Amino acid sequence: MAADLNLILNGTPVPVYLGENTALALAAKTEAAESALAAQSAAAAALAAAGVGEYADTSAGLAGTSEGDTFWVDNGDGTGTIYRHDAGPTATEIGKFIKDLTENGAAALIGVEGGGTVQDALSGLPNSLHYQAPTSSNVSGFDMDFRAGQGGTSPVAGTIHDYTDASRTWQLDKVGGSIGTGGYVLGLRRANNHIRRPDKPGTYISEAGFLRCSYDRFTQTAEVTGSISGNVLTVTDVASGALAVGSFVEGSGVEEGTTIAALGTGTGGTGTYTVAVRGNSAATQTVASTTLTGKTKSEVLAFYVDQTGGFGWSTDPVKMTTAKANGASYAFQLTASNEQQFLLSLTSASGQVLTIQDAVSGTRTDFVTPSNQTSGMRFQATAGGIDLAPATNQVITLRGRTAPDANNSYYLGTSTANWLRVYADAYYVGSTKVLGAQQSAITDSAGGDEQAKINAILAALRAHGIIAT
């Protein structure tokens, strides 16, 4: 892997990989630091062995040495300058060396491959880190290898603290690639690496989930009457709840960010407490007796993606919002890439509630409640009706009880609230039409026309299908 920067320490090129750790953008890699420290020790030992003494300044050095001798002076910036006592007397500079690598002056002495020093290379950097790999590079631009705490309690591998009001904390721009060739903007992988984790089985794969999103929430846990003098809160009455270390205290005249730093004579109720302002326990304030509230901050899980890609949400209602403009395509769409009979299952704590199935070889949609839903299924409109609209000349099939009730009757609805109207072009028993559209009126018989009236009635019955033609 090509180095991002080559430093010349004690005449030896030392590669620095800025991509491996952003902190190295302002210092050498660990190996470089070790080499520099070794060079520093060697330089000090060589000076001492050669009898080159240290003096406070050049005047003291000239006064303490003879012509032709050498001495060195601490420059106060982590470097030292070696001088020769020449005629005059004159202190002639021979060279400089690194005395303390942690000081700023060291950067001016560490050379960079191609000319110049680290100080020169870094002096033109802006306040933010900007790294641009050459187009010819075929390695990762950023590669961090974090191994601290293996086999025990580990720190977080990396944390970004954004204390600004910027619209976003982190942005990834992918220009190039396609999903068809396996491209993606962000990849999260539960991985195996038997070389980097020798404490794990060879086939071990991380058991962590893929993603966790959470937010902080404040909950009022106490309401008290109290006053603050200096950094001491005195509570004289408790209306509800209890205070605790870490509780945020709010009220008229109370400084923003005031928290309970320590218990005094109070242990949640009346008594005294040490308070801090934004973490500073030495901060003082004066607040007359007033109503104060105590609030506790807690982390609330918003949602997560588990080990196998499953989504989970917190106790807050789930809200999915789209800003899609109205059009012919759907606002939300769930797609199964392969043919699936069972498309969606809705489940509560008591068990499965409803399934949506692609039934009859993908030609019918079924809404199915399982056997635990013993009260069945209900479609309810709190305003307006319920419209069942089959395709033209297609039927609505209602399947009910398999046996009649005690009165030898079947019901549409319930025995106390039967359906009042059923709209259809015709009704069939099996494949035979038994009721159709309303026929023309038949006037009352005036006497002597009975046969005509009977024939008209029979024609109407046949038209309905009540009697065969």
- The answer to whether 222 touches 238, Cβ cutoff 8 Å, is yes
Q: What pLDDT, on a 0 to 100 scale, did the predictor assign at position 20?
A: 39
pLDDT band, residue 415 (cuts 50/70/90) = very low
Question: What are residue 229's DSSP bridge partners?
Answer: 232, 286
Q: What pLDDT, on a 0 to 100 scale, did the predictor assign at position 192?
A: 92
Relative to beta strand 232-241, strand 271-277 is: antiparallel
Domain boundaries of the chain, sorted by first residue: 5-123, 213-301, 340-374
Question: What are residue 9's DSSP bridge partners?
Answer: 12
Q: What is the pLDDT of residues 83-118, one digit of tens each?
A: 999 998 999 998 887 777 666 666 666 666 566 666
404 residue type, one letter: P
Listed residue (286, 271, 276) closest to 234, CA to CA: 271
Q: What is the pLDDT of residues 450-468, one digit of tens each?
A: 899 999 999 988 888 888 8
The rounded percent of the chain whose pLDDT value lies above 90 is: 33
**Mean per-residue pLDDT, 28-45:** 56
Q: What pLDDT, on a 0 to 100 scale, did the predictor assign at position 284?
A: 96
Of residues 427 and 303, which shows the higher confidence score? 303
Question: What are residue 230's DSSP bridge partners?
Answer: 285
Query: Rounded to two decimals, what is the model's pTM?
Result: 0.56
Relative to beta strand 432-435, strand 427-429 is: antiparallel
pLDDT band, residue 469 (cuts 50/70/90) = confident
Residue with tokens 């690598």: 101
Q: What is the pLDDT of residues 418-443, one digit of tens each?
A: 444 555 667 777 677 788 888 888 88
